[in-house]
């Protein structure tokens, strides 16, 4: 970052913090359903999530954003009772496989003992943790379909 901030100066606390990385997830302002952002390499057509540049397959450096499928299948899930320092437990995370041949690591919007291998889930926006100021940090999560 180019600009330097004066230490000690208290910044006004924002009520709403969105996940740190805008390349990952889109929550459309018009209220339509949120989606994960895949990146198609313009040279070899490989789709990656998250975006990695250059393309590890062909070293291409130009990409086109594609909205990934909102629904996927749980490959595996676990309930976390002792988690990262500062994170409230229990929380639930796992892998979701999408039709684009991608595997997404994500938290689930779910109670413990409710997510199983093979479950159908959809991507939603949710709170994944508190940030350093104690404010909720929002990102993508997955939620069971037909709950």
How far apart are CB 56 and other proteins at their closest, in Å? 7
Q: Residues 47-76: x/- map of binding to Zn ion (CB under 5 A)?
A: --------x-xx-x----------------
How many Å apart are CA 118 and CA 76, to the nearest integer?
Answer: 8
Q: Which does 48 bind (CB under 5 to 8 A by kind): other proteins, Zn ion, none?
A: other proteins
Calculated CA dihedral for residues 92, 97, 103, 106, nearest 10 degrees: -20
How far apart are CB 95 and other proteins at their closest, in Å? 6
CB 104 within 8 A of CB 72: yes
Our finding on whether 20 is near other proteins (CB under 8 A) is yes
Could you tell me which residues come within 8 angstroms of residue 70 by beta carbon, excluding any fewer than 6 positions away? 33, 34, 35, 122, 123
Our finding on whether 132 is near other proteins (CB under 8 A) is no
Place of tokens 């895949």: 38
How far apart are CB 84 and other proteins at their closest, in Å? 5
How many Å apart are CA 21 and CA 54, to the nearest integer?
Answer: 18
**18 or 58: whose CB is closer to Zn ion?**
58
β 102-107/91-98 pair status = antiparallel
Could you list the residues that contact Zn ion (CB under 5 A)? 41, 43-44, 46, 55, 57-58, 60
User: Using CB under 8 A as the criterion, which residues of the chain lie in contact with other proteins when the complex forms?
Assistant: 19-21, 24, 48-50, 56, 75-85, 87, 91, 93-95, 97, 101-103, 105-107, 112-113, 116-118, 128-129, 139
């Amino acid at each position: 970052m180019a600009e330097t901030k004066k230490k000690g100066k208290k910044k006004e606390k924002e009520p709403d913090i969105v996940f740190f990385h805008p390349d990952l997830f889109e929550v459309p302002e018009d209220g339509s359903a949120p989606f994960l952002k895949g990146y198609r390499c313009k040279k070899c057509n490989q789709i990656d999530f998250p975006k990695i540049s250059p393309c590890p397959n062909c070293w291409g450096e130009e990409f086109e954003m594609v909205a990934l499928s909102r629904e996927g299948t749980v490959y595996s899930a676990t309930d976390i009772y002792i988690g990262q320092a500062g994170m409230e437990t229990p929380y639930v995370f796992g892998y979701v496989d999408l039709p684009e041949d991608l595997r997404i690591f994500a938290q689930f919007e779910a109670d413990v003992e409710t997510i199983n291998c093979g479950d159908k889930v959809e991507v939603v926006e949710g709170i994944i943790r508190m940030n350093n100021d104690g404010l909720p940090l929002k990102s993508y999560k997955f939620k069971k379909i037909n709950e």
